[in-house]
Structure 1
Amino acid sequence: MKPETVRTSLDLPFDLHRRIREAAARRGCSARELILAGVERAVDEARPARPAHRLRLDPPLIRPAGRRIGLSNQDAYELVELP
């Protein structure tokens, strides 16, 4: 066993084990290589997609109504009574 690997074991149904060995033989690789490729593909597919870039409109399509007020988040929290 290579030092940078971890040994694990799986309980596979007999039919699945047979199909893995047959598929590996057809591809000319070992069952281990076939299983590793499948696990890597499953992990890569599970990665979250890159977040979409937010559309930035400058100037904005809708202008703000009224005048701006100087109110920070902290000021708003102080004005609201929270339970």
Structure 2
Amino acid sequence: MSDAAKDPVALAAARLESAVEMLVTVLSRPRPAPAEADMVPRAEVAAMAERLDATIARLRVALAEELRSGEREGE
């Protein structure tokens, strides 16, 4: 098994990237206009976007820390 396959940070990054790609695919499909009852409230969408932004920010910090620790080990 490769080092990337064992690295939890790399696995998390790959899963997040895959999830984002799936979202893009789903959101790119043409859809009929939803009935008003089928619409998700804007507040829920905004809250989900904030959580996604926070998750991406935490992942970026974790990746940066992992890269720095790898550079220190290589010295």
Fold-level similarity (TM above 0.5): no
Q: Flag the structure with more relative contact order, 1 or 2, with Cα contacts below 8 A and sequence separation at least 6.
A: 2
Q: TM-score, normalising length from structure 1?
A: 0.28
Higher share of residues assigned helix: 2
Larger Rg: 1
Q: TM-score, normalising length from structure 2?
A: 0.31
